[in-house]
Each structure stands twice: as structure tokens, then as C-alpha cells.
Amino acid sequence: MQVTLKVFRYNPDVDKKWHYETYNLDIEETERILDLLELVKGHYDGSLSFRRSCAHGVCGSDAMRINGRNMLACKTLVRDVGDKIAVEPLLGLKVIKDLIVDMEPFFDNYKKVLPYFINDSPLPADGKERLQSPGERARFDDTTKCILCAACTTSCPSFWGSDDYLGPAALVAAHRFIFDSRDEAASERLRIISETSGVARCHTVYNCTMACPRDIQITRAIGELKMATLTGKVD
């Protein structure tokens, strides 16, 4: 089928200002947006730059705006978006080149919530695993799926509006550990996310939930965090 692909372009080595390029392509409707970008790079303009790796929605490299919505280019097919396709970099992070944005502020926020398992108690006497029931394990299953693609955080108006908001992805990471029955640093993390840069900045817009390519119920997870910060209880 024939599609028009409009791509945001900016090369700091040559361009003073960003612009759009449009490419007319003959492709299959089952092709991924990533395939289209590869085709343009291969045959129209090799300088087109974007990040990608796994090409099937698990590494989180190629989150971008496709027809205005945050999606993974490798997990979005042409038939999902139609024959007029506009591709732009994520909002709220500085554009470095074409579809590549500066991810450092995103990862800096992630690192603020102590995104690692903390349990300083002695290991079980038998040296084996810390026991966890299937129910306890299920409690935080949803938030273990995060691939740190930034689709959620960069869809959030609160993130756009304030430099210091941790953003949905960092809160998802906090949730993953706070609700893990084996972890011992919930109170420390709750203190961090109770600050003005934390959960209070979430206004339940649900953009994050809709943007998540892993179908994580992010707004719900943030809601659970809000409740925990208010009650001091994690259950």
C-alpha cells in the first residue's frame, strides 16, 4: 500500500532549525513503523537517526510520537495507524538529533527512587530463596514489566510542565519495590515520593496508562502509591 511518512528532522551538525521531511513509500500494511524508518534510512536518507534494538517491543529503545501518540515504532504496525503517518520525537526531553532525545533526565529521575532491591536482613538459614507466596508475588507483577522506554513519562502534562517531577516511569519503579514483600526500604521510598516532586504531581490524566506499550496500569499503580503515602501502609 502507499503511505506518506512525515518525519521530524533535526541534525545539529547542519540544521539551524528543525523541519519535517515527507516520504512516499510503497509498503505492506503489516510492516512496523520501525521498518518504514529503516527503509527511509536505507534508501532515501542515511542520515535519518533513531534508536532501535530488539525490534519487538521489549528493549524500550524506539519510543516516539506516532500520529501524536507515544508508541514504540517496533510495536506499531501500519495498519494500526493508517496511510498518513507522522513521526516525531518524544516531548519533554531535549531533541539531540531527529528522533533521538536526551534520555539522561529520564534515567536521573529513575535513579532517585532507589530502584533496586534492598533487604539487609540475614538470608534464610537454609541459604535458599526468600520465600514469597504466589499472591505476594502477584501484588507487584504489573510494575515489573517496565522497559524504561519513557513513553509514559513523556506523555504526562505534569512532566512537561515541571522539570523536577519524577514522572510515571520512576514511580512505577518505586511501586515495583515498595509492594515487593521481600523488600525492606518501602518507608524510605515513600518518603522520597511524598516530596513535592513525587506522587502529588500526578493529576490522574491517564496519558501514561494509555501510552504504556507494556499495558502497565500506571495510573492505578500511582494511585496505590498515593494511598500508601497517606496511610503509611503498604498492602
Partner 1 sequence: MANVHEFDVVVVGAGGSGLMAGLYASRGAKTAVISKLYPTRSHTGAAQGGISAAFGNLEEDKPEWHTYDTVKGSDYLGDQDAIEFMCNEAIDAVLELEHMGLPFDRTPEGRILQRNFGGHTNNETGKPVRRACHAADRTGHMILQTLYQQCLKNKVNFFDEYQVLDLLLVNGKAAGVVAVELATGELHTFHAKAVIFATGGHGRIFEVTSNAYAYTGDGAAILLRRGLPLEDMEFFQFHPTGIYKLGILITEGVRGEGGVLINGKGERFMPKYASHVKDLASRDVVSRAIYTEIREGRGVNGQNYVYLDSRPESIIKYAAEDGRTNPDGSPYTITAEELLKKLPDIVDFNRVYLGIDPMTQMMPIQPTAHYTMGGIPTNKFGEVVIDDKNTAFPGLYAAGECACVSVHGANRLGTNSLLDLVVFGKHAGLRAAEYAKQADFQKLPDDPTAEARAQFDGLRNGSGKENVFDISREMKKVMFEDVGIYRNEKGMKAAIEKIAEWKERFKHVHIADTGRVFNTELLNAWELGNMLEVADVIAECALNRKESRGGHSREDFQKRDDVNWLKHTLAWKKNGKTEIGYKPVTITKYQPKERVY
Tell me which residues touch partner 1 (CB under 8 A).
11-14, 30, 38, 41-43, 45-47, 49-61, 75, 77, 96-98, 100, 103, 107, 111, 115-119, 123, 127-134, 136-137, 140-141, 144-148, 177, 180, 182-183, 215
Strand, coil or helix: 112: helix
Q: At its nearest, how many Å lie between partner 1 and the CB of residue 224?
A: 17
Q: Which is nearer to partner 1, 69 or 97 (CB)?
A: 97
Q: Which is nearer to partner 1, 200 or 210 (CB)?
A: 210
Q: Which is nearer to partner 1, 43 or 203 (CB)?
A: 43
Q: How far is C-alpha 182 from the chain's CA centre?
A: 25
Q: What is the C-alpha separation between 40 and 176, in angstroms, rounded?
A: 39
Q: Grid coordinates representing 90?
A: 518524544
Q: What is the CA radius of gyration of the chain?
A: 20
Q: At its nearest, how many Å lie between partner 1 and the CB of residue 230?
A: 26
Q: Which is nearer to partner 1, 211 or 226 (CB)?
A: 211
Q: Which is nearer to partner 1, 191 or 203 (CB)?
A: 191
The Cβ-side half-sphere exposure at 53, using a 13 Å CA radius, reads 6
Q: 5's torsion region: left (phi>0), alpha (psi -120 to 50) or beta?
A: beta
Q: What is the C-alpha separation between 220 and 156, in angstroms, rounded?
A: 15
Q: What is the C-alpha separation between 112 and 195, in angstroms, rounded?
A: 12
CA distances from 176 to 81, 200, 206, 225, 226 (A): 32, 18, 19, 10, 14
Q: At its nearest, how many Å lie between partner 1 and the CB of residue 137?
A: 5
Q: At its nearest, how many Å lie between partner 1 and the CB of residue 200?
A: 25
Residue 190 has what DSSP assignment?
H
Q: At its nearest, how many Å lie between partner 1 and the CB of residue 231?
A: 24
Q: At its nearest, how many Å lie between partner 1 and the CB of residue 24?
A: 18
Q: Which is nearer to partner 1, 99 or 193 (CB)?
A: 99
